[in-house]
Amino acid sequence: MVEEIKDEKKEAEKTEAQEIAELLSIEKAPEFKESKESADSDSDKKKKKKIKRQIQRGQAHIQCTYNNTIITITDLGGMSLGWASAGSLGFKGAKKSTPYAATQVAINLAEKVKKYGLVELEVFVKGVGSGREASIRALVNKGLDLVSIKDITPIPHNGCRPRKPRRV
C-alpha cells in the first residue's frame, strides 16, 4: 500500500515535470528556429541602424584642472552620452590647459551628442583651470540652452588633520 502511494507520487511528479518541459519546449523552440532562419536570411541584407534615444535635457560635467580640461555630457540619470578631453583631441603639454583647447573640446563634444537631440543643459563646473568660462561659452555658441551653471569645486572646510607633534 505504501509503495503504491509512493509510485503514484513519483508518476504525478514526472507528469508535472513532463508537462512543464513540453510547455517550455513548445514556447521556446519556435523562437530559436525563427531567429536562426532570420539570421541566415538577413546576412545578405544590411544591418539595421540602432535607434538612438532622444533626450531633451542633459547635464554637462566640466572638469578643468591646471593640466587638462575634460567634459562629459550625461542624461539626467547620470548615464554618459559622450565625453572629450583636450588630450584626446591631440593637444599636448601646456597647450592642454589653455582656454582655446577647452573651446575645441566643447565644440567636439557638442557635435558628438547632437544625434541625441539635446536642447537644454545643466552645467556642473569642477576645478580651477583656465578653461572654465571658455568651455561654457563654446557650449552656448553651439546652440545649447543652459538651464543652470553650478560650481562643484571641492573646498576643504578645515583642512586635513595635522600631524602629531614630534617628541624629542
pLDDT at residue 26 tops 60: no
pLDDT of res. 149: 97
Give a yes or no: residue 44 inside a domain: no
- Looking at the structure, do residues 13 and 75 belong to the same domain, yes or no? no
What is the DSSP annotation of the chain? -HHHHHHHHHHHHHHHHHHHHHHHHHHHHHHHHHHHHHHHHHTSSPPPPPPPPP-SEEEEEEEE-SS-EEEEEEETT--EEEEEETTTTT--GGGGGSHHHHHHHHHHHHHHGGGGT--EEEEEEEE--TTHHHHHHHHHHTTPEEEEEEE-----SS-SPPPPPPP-
Answer yes or no: is 47 within a domain.
no
Domain shared by 132 and 69, yes or no? yes
Q: What percent of the chain has pLDDT over 90?
A: 64
- Is there a domain that residue 83 lies in? yes
pLDDT at 28: 45
Q: Is the pTM of this model over 0.85?
A: no
Q: What is the per-residue pLDDT across 88-113, written as a single tens digit (0 to 9) for each?
A: 999 999 999 999 999 999 999 999 99
Task: Specify if 157 maps to a domain.
Answer: no
Looking at the predicted structure, is the pLDDT value of residue 29 above 70?
no
Q: What is the mean pLDDT of the chain?
A: 84
Give residue 34's pLDDT band: very low, low, confident or very high (50, 70, 90): very low
Instruction: Classify residue 163: in a domain, yes or no.
Output: no
Flag whether 38 is in a domain.
no
Q: What is the predicted pLDDT for the residue at 151?
A: 97
Find the mean pLDDT for residues 126-132. Answer: 94
Q: Is 61 domain-assigned?
A: yes
Residue 156 domain-assigned (yes or no): no
Number of compact structural domains in the chain = 2
What pLDDT score was predicted for residue 23? 63
Give the three cell numbers for residue 122.
545643466
The domain of 88 spans 57-151
pLDDT of residue 12: 62
Query: Is the domain of 87 the same as that of 140?
Result: yes
**118 and 77 in a common domain:** yes
